[in-house]
Structure 1
Amino acid sequence: MLIEFRVKNFLSIQDEQVLSMVASKDDTFFDSHTNGDKKLALLKSSVIYGANASGKTNIIKALQTMKTIVISSANKQRGDKLPITPFLLGDEDDKPTKFEIIFIQDNIKYQYGFILNSEKILEEWLLVFGESNRAQKWFERIYKEKEREYDYSFGAKFLGSKQLWAESTRDNALFLSVAIQLNNEQLKPVFDFFNLRLQVKGTKGWDNGGSITIDVYKKNKELVKNFFKIADLDIEDIKIEISDIDENSFPPNLQNLPQELKENIIKKFKSIEFFKNTKIVEDISFTHLSQKKQVKFFNINDESQGTQKFFDIIGVWIDSLKKGNILIFDELNTHLHPLMTKFLVSLFHNENLNKANAQLIFTTHETSILNQDIFRRDQVWFCEKQNKATKLYPLSDFKVRKDKTNLENDYLLGRFGALPYFKEISSSWSDNGH
């Protein structure tokens, strides 16, 4: 589970901002909305509100960028740039970016972070907390500018070919990523947290290249169908046609390649571990019943955008709830009815469905769910620009009566900030000579 995420000097974020999933001492919805651990109670969901351009999406991008660097930096060539854009509206634009995350994986608490610019990793560290909750340093790496080299230090609990891993780590790669590539088993839970547990849906799609709905659908067909019926989408069944990768999978402009070359490409593609069981989706259609109870098939492209989005995400929802993943979603409400958004959030608060303590963190403009019947106060966060930089803060910073369930009006009236400010149209119009 995610405990805390920190980011500094990234896109619209200037000073360090903290997103915490640690529950307050409030016992509201304790059994359903937290992991139920009284020593370290962690929230099962958090929602972020804010005006357009306030930086909500940049919080999501920060998590996604940290994950990308962890997974891919070991494969970078010398001189390749790291995907970092610092805050550019301050007095200095040469300060480094910082990411740090605290999480629990396989019942062990980790604190991992790094500081970097677009050219190199400047610092990297990993702390592991034992049974007494005391921090053990496993490794630390600091770049010394004068000597133009790294100073490494390792803890006694960290084992293996440390010197080899350090010497194999380039300036623009993480020690964690390189050690994993060189078969370090001790760091695998940390890498797996980023690679498997942290699932991010940004504005351009899932960070793993696509939803896993089809794979989950095959394993949980009846459950997916039930969710479609519960959501009242008037769909009786789903039909997915898939095929193995073969020469017919080539796009038209490559069909004229020599047969031997096609076969070699397919053989090489299938030899890659990640793609061994890859299938090509030929068609997705939904079964409807007509007014006369006749079966009708609709192609997915003929369905509403809301239905398409529900199909795109429901597999990931089911997978996350079963495995205890952390699902990060930007603009969850887009193309969805407010009650659909409420339904999807409620699945994470369902004690029978979310036994693995999966977590949902999402941004939205849907204020109808800004309600203490749905969320605890510590689950609600706001984003706003202050002096051109993003500030993230929780609803729990404000005094709100427990019996005041609906907070939508208070938010829209500006009590919590994080609202857009519109100038008077008449003055703006006249200022431009009209």
Structure 2
Amino acid sequence: MLIRFEASNYRSIAEGVELSMVAVDRDREAAREAPHLGESLLTLAAVYGPNASGKSNVVSALAWLRDAVEDSLRFWEDEIPLEPFAFGSGPSHPSEFVIEATVDGVRFEYVLELDTRQVRYEGLFHYPEKKRRRIFEREGSELKLQRGLGALSGTRELLTERTLALSVARRFDEPLVSLFAKDILRIQVLGQMPRRVRARAFGSGSGTWRARTHRWFDSLENAQPPLFPLGDKEGEWPTLSRRDQALALLRLADLGIEDVVIDEQQVVYSGSGETRTQRRLRLVHRSGDNAAPLDFSAESEGTRTWFGLIGPVLTALQQGSVVIFDELDASLHPTLSAELLQVFRSPVTNPYGAQLIFTSHDTSLLNHLNRDEVWLTEKRADGSTRLGGLAEFAGERVRKSQNLENAYLHGRFGALPQVDQTDFLRALGLIG
């Protein structure tokens, strides 16, 4: 599970911002105990704030780090695709990223400092028996390894000034590195995030999510283990096929959909007259005693979005991994968004500690969030992003029982747009 993430000098983030998943209020189902950490970790985190305040940049920084681990060895030959803060000393200073997570109960910490030309510093550490130990540490081209990790010695031969040591080392058979790297690479990104942030790893739109969901329903790809293979234990779901699990989540949205049909159809291309066989996706709707399959393209945008997130969400629940959803309210009705939050909150539907981190303008969701699950962004005078946790805002004034939506809309926490129509009215000639 993710413990915390920190970034500085990335897009609108100048000074370091930190998003922590450590629970303040531990006596509830969304807070999962991490015994070796001595804390409880949250399964939900929401980032609120006005437009252009940097909400998306906070979560895209985490997505960027995920992509970096996957891509640096293959694609960073000429330049590191980094976007530092555009003003002040941003372009001439390095960017920094820090991520801490628990993997199989062990705490890991990964630190990265780099600019567009080179990786300046990189370190991976773990905390066996609560004591920090180095796995590897790299300054420039010099790489130091923990004793006994001879399997990683080949990392030095593939390392370049623009290649992450983690990208190289994960390809060797060393569990300490490969398990952590796999945990990072399992992070999934959904929503409205700019295409350049996620184009290579996640695709450019909802069609890519849909392809991931398609595999859960397709009988040709269903020979995989169910989400909860130990369904005979009390409190767990019964053992269901992947298809049954995906259909149950689809029906949770109460969209009137009874089933999903994936079959084949013959398509004739008008130019060449060539006939090809294509697989077709249709959703079966019931009306009274009648049921009819409708082509997926005829479904509403909300239905297509909910269908598309089923695959990524079930994958995360199965792996106990992280899902980032940018602009959740732009994709889902508030009722469906609230249902999604409950899926991640409940230990019954989320037994392995999957985490949902999302940005939103939908204040109604604040009624479904605890004070330590809410983060606020504001735009400083210099254009940079400030991020703060609601649980720490103004000390004891943010009570556990407070109506967060009402307080937010009344400006108690800031992070609201400052609307001034003067320039607009002047431009229309309505005032002098």
Normalised to the residue count of structure 2, the TM-score between the two structures is 0.83
Secondary structure of 1:223's match? helix
Long gaps (5+) in structure 2: 219-240
**Partner residue, 1:346:** 342
**Partner residue, 1:165:** 155
**Partner residue, 2:309:** 313
Q: How many residues align?
A: 388
Measured after TM superposition, the shift of residue 171 of structure 1 is 1.2
How do residues 14-413 of structure 1 correspond to structure 2 at under 5 angstroms?
A: 14-24=14-24, 26-29=25-28, 32-37=29-34, 39-76=38-75, 78=77, 80-131=78-129, 133-143=130-140, 150-162=141-153, 164-196=154-186, 198-203=187-192, 204=195, 207-209=201-203, 210-211=208-209, 212-218=212-218, 219-241=241-263, 282-291=279-288, 293-371=289-367, 374-387=368-381, 388-398=383-393, 399-404=397-402, 406-413=403-410
Secondary structure of 1:370's match? helix
Distance in 1 (alpha carbons) for counterparts of 2:148 and 2:257: 55
Name the CA shift for 1:252/1:114 in 2 (closer, same or farther; >3 Å).
Answer: farther
Measured after TM superposition, the shift of residue 323 of structure 1 is 1.8
Secondary structure of 1:327's match? strand
Instruction: Answer yes or no: is the 8 Å Cα contact 2:260–2:284 preserved in 1.
Output: yes
Structure 1 residues 180-229: Cα deviation after superposition (integer angstroms, max 9, x where no partner)? 33555541112111223x11225247843422212223442223323333
Question: Identity over aligned residues, as a percent?
Answer: 31
Instruction: Answer yes or no: is the 8 Å Cα contact 1:240–1:281 preserved in 2.
Output: no
Name the CA shift for 1:141/1:286 in 2 (closer, same or farther; >3 Å).
Answer: same
Distance in 2 (alpha carbons) for counterparts of 1:73 and 1:13: 22
The AA in structure 1 aligned to 2:144 is S
Distance in 2 (alpha carbons) for counterparts of 1:338 and 1:44: 19
Distance in 1 (alpha carbons) for counterparts of 2:339 and 2:64: 29
Instruction: Answer yes or no: is the 8 Å Cα contact 1:216–1:319 preserved in 2.
Output: no
Measured after TM superposition, the shift of residue 130 of structure 1 is 0.5
Distance in 1 (alpha carbons) for counterparts of 2:22 and 2:272: 53
The AA in structure 2 aligned to 1:110 is F
Name the CA shift for 1:254/1:107 in 2 (closer, same or farther; >3 Å).
Answer: farther
Report the RMSD for the aligned CA atoms in angstroms: 2.6
**Partner residue, 1:418:** 415
The AA in structure 1 aligned to 2:294 is F
Instruction: Answer yes or no: is the 8 Å Cα contact 1:65–1:83 preserved in 2.
Output: no
Secondary structure of 2:183's match? helix
Distance in 2 (alpha carbons) for counterparts of 1:241 and 1:65: 37
Distance in 2 (alpha carbons) for counterparts of 1:283 and 1:302: 13
Measured after TM superposition, the shift of residue 428 of structure 1 is 3.2
The AA in structure 2 aligned to 1:231 is A
After TM superposition, the structure 1 stretch with the greater mean CA deviation from structure 2, 42-51 or 311-320, is: 311-320
Structure 1 residues 349-400: Cα deviation after superposition (integer angstroms, max 9, x where no partner)? 11211111111111111100112xx322111111111121001111112322
Distance in 2 (alpha carbons) for counterparts of 1:400 and 1:367: 16
Instruction: Answer yes or no: is the 8 Å Cα contact 1:142–1:151 preserved in 2.
Output: yes
Instruction: Answer yes or no: is the 8 Å Cα contact 1:333–1:364 preserved in 2.
Output: yes
After TM superposition, the structure 1 stretch with the greater mean CA deviation from structure 2, 231-240 or 177-186, is: 177-186
Long gaps (5+) in structure 1: 144-149, 257-279
Instruction: Answer yes or no: is the 8 Å Cα contact 1:6–1:99 preserved in 2.
Output: yes
Secondary structure of 1:352's match? coil
The AA in structure 2 aligned to 1:140 is E
Normalised to the residue count of structure 1, the TM-score between the two structures is 0.83
Structure 1 residues 383-429: Cα deviation after superposition (integer angstroms, max 9, x where no partner)? 1111210011111123223333x32121112111111111125x532
Name the CA shift for 1:381/1:240 in 2 (closer, same or farther; >3 Å).
Answer: same
Secondary structure of 2:143's match? strand
Distance in 2 (alpha carbons) for counterparts of 1:110 and 1:159: 20
Secondary structure of 1:344's match? helix
Structure 1 residues 76-131: Cα deviation after superposition (integer angstroms, max 9, x where no partner)? 363x2212010012245211111110011122211012111112111111111112
The AA in structure 2 aligned to 1:200 is V
Name the CA shift for 1:155/1:229 in 2 (closer, same or farther; >3 Å).
Answer: closer
The AA in structure 2 aligned to 1:42 is L
Instruction: Answer yes or no: is the 8 Å Cα contact 2:46–2:359 preserved in 1.
Output: yes
Distance in 2 (alpha carbons) for counterparts of 1:409 and 1:60: 25
Secondary structure of 2:182's match? helix
Instruction: Answer yes or no: is the 8 Å Cα contact 1:116–1:123 preserved in 2.
Output: yes
Distance in 1 (alpha carbons) for counterparts of 2:272 and 2:149: 50
Instruction: Answer yes or no: is the 8 Å Cα contact 1:138–1:157 preserved in 2.
Output: no
